[in-house]
Structure 1
Amino acid sequence: MRRDLAKTFLYDMALAREFEQRAAEQYTEGKIAGFLHLYPGEEAVAVGSLRAADPGDYVVTTYREHVHALVRGITPAAVMAELFGRADGCSRGYGGSMHLFDMDRRFLGGYAIVGETFPVAAGAAYWLRLNSEPDVVLCYFGDGAVNQGTFHETLNMVALWGLPVVLICENNHYQIGTEIHRHSAIAEVHKRACGYGIEAERVDGMDVLAVYDATRHALHHVRDGNGPYLLECETYRYRGHSMADPGAYRSALEVSELRARDPLRTFRKRANEEGWVAEDEADGLAEQARSAVDEALAFADASPPPTELHADVYVEPIHLYRGRP
């Protein structure tokens, strides 16, 4: 394990946790409108998988995508400004929390419709294949999306055409408030891939190093021309589905047991014990993360509201009947 990679993991997860906690505060103060789906507890999935990817790889993810955007390199300031609906946001204030986008980083956006990521990822992968590009599409989705028709249709297409896609299931075990064994006949998501001849595996999504290693293996598999790959990352969200959800359907004991496996704390402990990152270094990384979020909040507050809300959305009306004004 390289020291620089361990420090990157720690900083990324500290930034993710701090950013999401502060976003929750801003939501309660009324500075963020609409829906807000937060990521605490799941940080190891986004950090481990995206740090294994190459800069040229494409990313398609869901509405719980703030951390994916941060790890991909979109600045905390640009993400926070987008949450505030400001012109300096990464989507110019058009998208808000659920629709972050950055073409320069090949971050093709968060998508609010459950199961919407699959056809978008397949389309991008098809373009890569047609143009003989060496890159891969990382397609994220939750366990609640696996019963959508788009999931099965896309698995069939990417397998049939051998498209370069790594499908990453962030299995936090709850489709909003419904536990996976109550809505899926097959609760082990990775097993569904065998029906399409797609290689798949389950990995501990609370362990950033395990996710990193599994994603590297999956990417090598795809880049070597062996077709798509599916990773099921078992993880857990400490908050409800969104800020509107108190999460009362989960027992305090369950949440407590999973908090004991906090990916940030457990990796920090391991990094210290293995000699990868000293405690004072870890403290410094956490402080850097807090400072970065402080700066992001100041930037978002100062950013102006969008002034061209109709740009790229509407066209001048075309009158189909003669004589109409």
Structure 2
Amino acid sequence: MRRTALYSRSTRPAAGHQAAMAQAEAEDRARAELSAEPRIQEEIGPQPLRSGRRQLLFWKHPAALWGGLAVMALLLALSWTQALQPKPVRQLTQKDIDRAVIHTMENNVLPSPAARAAGIIGPSVVRVLGTMEGKKGKKGAPPQESGHGIGTGVVIIDNGTILTNYHVVDGADRIDVTFWDGTESQAFVINAEPDKDLAVLRARTVPDDLQPATMRSSASLLPGEQVAAVGFPYGIGPSVSAGVVSGLKRGFRSPKGGQMLKDLIQFDAAANPGNSGGPLVTMDGQVVGIVTAILNPTEASTFIGIGFAVPIESAAGAAGQPPF
């Protein structure tokens, strides 16, 4: 269907009127340009102010501030923890241990068990010298000759209490002892048990660092167990000899008609006159007996392989110090 044309009812304006309208439009455009400039400045200029306002609002919220600090502290703690965490160490294997042992044995000379035992007991061993002064005999009797007997002792209490054999000091008018460090002192008998061939001495002067021996029960000894004898054979020493326990609960009577000794430890570590009263020790340096006699069927009084020691239980009991 054909549409009807639409026409404007306004008439064309006159020329003067057109000029007035053009001037008005120019003024409107000028005013529009002047008003647009502040808006542009308003859109561009306030941006930094809005950013600064956001920063100001951030610092005005404590929760946000402390949250940020907490995150920073957590990150710092994690970094320190990682820095201080020890690096994993490789576990040793049996092969590593075997190689180390073989290297040590190939490049170092290890002390023997007897040397270790002597090093432990050494500071507790003393030299004992009993002196007999010459005296005139009664009318018609021969005078008594002066002389001395040399033996060994072992310190069992740090106040200078020493164990030795009774026959070492029997009949002596004066007893002198020499300690490990060379200190010399006169000593006197405080107890004696001749039936066990034991005597207990007390030194008048002792070193400041005197070391008493450690005693071990002989009840746990077995035949074949290694032992060492430390003393002053013929006054030479301190000397060390090593061997084994040959037997237990042995009996022995001195060929010179002495008393019968029982429950003795038999050993084959070399002992000679002068070893009497010295310690018989195990390989850990602990005293299990006091050397008291050697078996020798000849007049030479030399060692043939059989020695005897009083068990430490009996010896310490004589000193009033039962150790077990």
| TM-score bracket for the superposition, by shorter chain length | under 0.3
TM-score (ref. length: structure 1)? 0.21
Which TM-score applies when normalising by structure 2? 0.21
